[in-house]
Homo-oligomer: A and B are copies of this chain.
Amino acid sequence: MLRILSHCAPMNDFIHFARLCQTPFPKSLGDTGLGTETTTTSIAELIADRIDSMPTGERRAAQTLVANYPVIGLKTVADFSQQAGVSSPTILRFVARLGFQNYPEFQSALQDELAAQLQSPASRTVTAPSRSDAASPMIEATLDNLRETFRHLSDKQLNEIAEKMADHRGHMFLIGGRFTDPLARYMAAHLAIIRPNVFHLVGQESMWRDRLIDMGKRDVLVIFDIRRYQDSLIRFAEKAHQRGVQIVLFTDQWLSPIARFARHVIAGRTAVPSPWDSSAALFVVAETLIGAVTRQMEPDSARRIREMEGLR
């Protein structure tokens, strides 16, 4: 059953589109009614449960199924096997290991699960918290952090910052602290693609301190600094500020002392039930800004990217 013709494109780039209307009709439950009837445990759980006792090939099957759950399992064995990069028999052995007599039975189970899931849209929102709650308070706290962070962030502010970052008449420098340096690097990696003169300051303090001499009023300095705030960064920010550099500060909710010198301050929530603070909120703000800047520099950035690809 369920075969497919064209379009096996394993990984097409972006996918977006169409939402479809939900149908609030009752389902005349026609259960296939055969085989092992107890579907109390979802197939996804079943997989997570046994994935460790599987051989390599079947594990690849399991992984691709989980990654594209459950659509790939609704396609044919051939499609499934191709996307997983294994042979058809491996797929069949995989579903057999899950306890299904044959492939159609496996598909029926997936379909029933899907039907149950789609029927009550509430069940989704109900099961989601319960699962993620059980999974870890960590993710819940992170979600809260994200929401809170953005709640205190006006899009006017974001746009202003993006505008400043998009202004490539001046240079742009990024620097971070011990744990936040990767964020600076992440941002720099993207921005350096869509605009010129982006520099990620790394290495010894003396190295980037000397770069101060190149900085002026038209330049932007992006600093990531969460506690414990590093003295070196504070000193650096102060000197940069004295030279008239525009400072954009990413910090935590307790505000680094650098906030005193900053033109723009982004305060992200960092508290999570972990020995470490979380930089996830700042990371997402950074991604949002990267997107905003890119959008703002269109079509300039697109041209630049194309030109870059040509250089390979």
Q: How often does this chain occur in the complex, in copies? A: 2
Chain B residue contacts of A278, Cβ below 8 A: 287
A311 in contact (CB, < 8 A): no
Contact assessment for A190 and B186 in the assembled complex, using a CB-CB cutoff below 8 Å: no
A209 in contact (CB, < 8 A): no
Contact assessment for A19 and B153 in the assembled complex, using a CB-CB cutoff below 8 Å: yes
Residue in contact with A35 in the complex, picked from B7, B39, B138, CB distance below 8 Å: B7
Contact assessment for A182 and B182 in the assembled complex, using a CB-CB cutoff below 8 Å: yes
Query: Known contacts A15-B32, A63-B255, A273-B4; is A21 also within 8 Å of B155 by CB?
Result: yes
A157 CB to closest chain B CB (Å) equals 6
For chain A, the count of residues having a C-beta within 8 Å of the partner chain is: 147
Chain B residue contacts of A51, Cβ below 8 A: 157
A213 in contact (CB, < 8 A): no
A204 in contact (CB, < 8 A): no
Contact assessment for A45 and B179 in the assembled complex, using a CB-CB cutoff below 8 Å: no
Known: A74-B74, A134-B155. 16 other contacts (CB 8 A): A2-B269, A2-B271, A5-B108, A5-B273, A6-B36, A15-B255, A19-B42, A19-B123, A21-B150, A48-B154, A69-B118, A131-B151, A132-B150, A136-B158, A179-B189, A272-B287
A→B interface (CB under 8 Å)? 1-32, 34-36, 39-45, 48-49, 51-52, 60, 63-64, 66-69, 71, 74-76, 83, 85, 102, 104-105, 107-108, 111-121, 123-128, 131-139, 141-148, 150-158, 160, 178-179, 181-183, 185-186, 189-190, 227, 253-255, 257, 259-260, 265, 267, 269, 271-280, 283-284, 287-288, 290-292, 294-295, 301
